[in-house]
């Protein structure tokens, strides 16, 4: 979803817009961060308008990317309100005193609230509640999974934190079977509705503590797309447990695709944690902290279970 909080100073706005102009921050992500940072709708509109004044706008590529940001803003007039209300529904700063169990219960309730506000924005804030924007982002990730060799009609996939089932729907005709797990009953309900009639898709409510529903060596690939930040925020020990569970659930040689490990804005610590967990659970790190997408800045780790 995205958890970066920022100070809506002019420097912040100019830096973000310049980064978008250089092609480092996708327009939708830049717009989402402007909405997260702006105190009100007028400040958001002013920040979007500031994209016209950037010196970089002389560069045709930069001008194009910033025009795409403005076009997104024009097409989603409710963007600021929606981003703010979904963020308010899913607090990202868990109390340090809460147990992992209490945090999982809070997260389940939070994602219930967010899904009720907007199924699309609850899984990807940068869709601004627009199904066509979410579909485009999903298609890009699905294509990438195919390029990595994770798909195939004989392959069984598990998707941890499946949300509204966008990957189940997109991948159903490209895999043998896919099981989506989620801790939020509302997400599960929506995902089941979205995947109705897809015989090789199963959506299950999960405790969020393990992969108890998945047989040992039952999966060819496990996906965890934008869910580990919540697992890590519930408890670092839970992240260790999930790595062990994923290693248990995968067949030898199976793939683990992790997109975003945490939202703590410390890339070095994320890479170190993933490397440590991979080594302790019998994974080879095939890709570490890559950003392969045009529309989303998800940071991808691809791990292979030792054969």
* Binding positions for ligand SAM, rule: CB under 6 A: 1, 104, 107, 111, 123, 160-163, 166, 181-184, 187, 206, 208, 225-227, 230-231
Cα 175–Cα 180–Cα 181 angle in degrees, nearest 5: 155
Give least dist CB 17 to ligand SAM, A: 25
Give least dist CB 103 to ligand SAM, A: 9
Give least dist CB 12 to ligand SAM, A: 24
Nearest Cα to 184, choosing from 102, 124, 89, 109?
109
Annotate 1-50 with DSSP letters as a single string. ---------HHHHHHHHHHHHTTSS-HHHHHHHHHHH-SSHHHHHHHHHG
Question: Residue 86: exposed, middle, or buried by beta-carbon count in 10 A (0-12, 13-18, 19+)?
Answer: buried
The tokens describing 229, both together, are 């930040």
Output 56 or 226, the one with its CB closest to ligand SAM. Answer: 226
User: What DSSP state is assigned to residue 162?
Assistant: -
Output 56 or 159, the one with its CB closest to ligand SAM. Answer: 159
Give least dist CB 245 to ligand SAM, A: 10
Output 209 or 287, the one with its CB closest to ligand SAM. Answer: 209
Give least dist CB 87 to ligand SAM, A: 12
Residue burial 156-171, b: 16+ Cβ < 10 Å; e: rest? bbbbbbbbbbbbbbbb
Output 3 or 220, the one with its CB closest to ligand SAM. Answer: 3
H/E run at residue 170: helix 166-171
Could you tell me if 108 and 52 are in contact, meaning their C-beta atoms sit under 8 angstroms apart?
Answer: no
Output 1 or 66, the one with its CB closest to ligand SAM. Answer: 1
Give least dist CB 11 to ligand SAM, A: 29
Residues in CB range of 171: below 8 A, 6 or more apart: 142, 145, 151, 157, 178
Output 73 or 259, the one with its CB closest to ligand SAM. Answer: 259
Output 47 or 234, the one with its CB closest to ligand SAM. Answer: 234
Output 166 or 305, the one with its CB closest to ligand SAM. Answer: 166
The tokens describing 287, both together, are 């890709």
The tokens describing 230, both together, are 């919540």
CA end-to-end span of the chain: 33
Give least dist CB 68 to ligand SAM, A: 22
Give least dist CB 111 to ligand SAM, A: 3
Residue 203: helix, strand or coil by DSSP? strand
């Amino acid at each position: 979803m995205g958890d970066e909080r920022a100070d809506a100073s002019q420097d912040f706005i100019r830096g973000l817009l310049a980064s978008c102009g250089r092609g480092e921050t996708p327009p939708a992500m830049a717009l989402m961060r402007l909405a997260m940072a702006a105190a009100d709708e007028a400040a958001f509109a002013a920040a979007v308008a500031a994209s016209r004044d950037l010196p970089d706008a002389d560069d045709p590529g930069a001008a194009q990317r910033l025009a795409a940001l403005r076009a997104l803003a024009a097409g989603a007039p409710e963007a600021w309100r929606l981003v703010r209300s979904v963020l308010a529904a899913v607090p990202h700063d868990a109390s340090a005193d809460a147990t992992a169990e209490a945090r999982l219960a809070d997260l389940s309730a939070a994602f219930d609230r967010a899904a009720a506000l907007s199924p699309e924005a609850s899984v990807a804030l940068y869709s601004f509640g627009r199904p066509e924007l979410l579909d485009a982002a999903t298609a890009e990730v699905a294509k990438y999974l195919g390029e990595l060799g994770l798909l195939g009609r004989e392959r069984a996939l598990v998707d941890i934190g499946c949300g509204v089932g966008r990957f189940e729907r997109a991948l159903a005709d490209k895999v043998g079977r896919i099981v989506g797990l989620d801790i939020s009953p509302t997400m599960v309900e929506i995902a089941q509705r979205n995947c109705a009639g897809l015989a090789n898709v199963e959506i299950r409510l999960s405790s969020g503590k393990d992969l108890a529903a998945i047989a040992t060596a039952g999966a060819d690939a496990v996906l965890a797309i934008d869910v580990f930040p919540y697992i890590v925020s519930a408890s670092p020990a839970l992240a260790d447990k999930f790595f062990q569970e994923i290693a248990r659930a995968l067949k030898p040689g199976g793939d683990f695709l992790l997109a975003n490990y945490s939202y703590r804005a410390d890339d070095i610590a994320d890479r170190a944690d993933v490397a440590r967990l991979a080594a302790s659970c019998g994974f080879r790190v095939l890709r570490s902290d890559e950003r392969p997408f045009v529309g989303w800045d998800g940071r991808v780790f691809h791990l292979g279970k030792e054969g």
